[in-house]
Amino acid sequence: MRRELAYKAIAEVYRDLDLDRGYWTAEKVADAERRMAIDDADRPDSTAIAGDFALRVLDKLGVVDVYEGPGDCHQRSYR
């Protein structure tokens, strides 16, 4: 599955659950992943953490294309 489809699906779930607050789009989900991967994000909010979690699960299942963006840093703890 193309990773872009996962970004779109995550944004749609945020919208379905009324968590998007008009912010989350497929592009914003992709940007959040990129920023978290290069450790450029400020302390992420819970929706960014949920999106990152969903993408990591999809990665482990091998159902999405591999992330090919910059960076390889993913926070191990959100505390």
pLDDT over 70 (residue 11): yes
Q: Which domain holds residue 57?
A: 3-61
Tokens 């970004």 correspond to: 7
- Dig out the tokens for 73 from the structure: 């840093």
∠ CA 11-17-18, rounded to 5°? 85
Output 46 or 14, whichever has higher pLDDT.
14
In a domain, 67, yes or no: no
Question: pTM of this prediction?
Answer: 0.78
In a domain, 73, yes or no: no
- pLDDT of 68 reads 81
- pLDDT of 43 reads 65
In a domain, 78, yes or no: no
Candidates 69, 79, 55; CA nearest to 5 is: 55
* Tally of domains within the chain: 1
In a domain, 25, yes or no: yes
- pLDDT of 40 reads 66
In a domain, 76, yes or no: no
Averaged pLDDT of the chain = 82
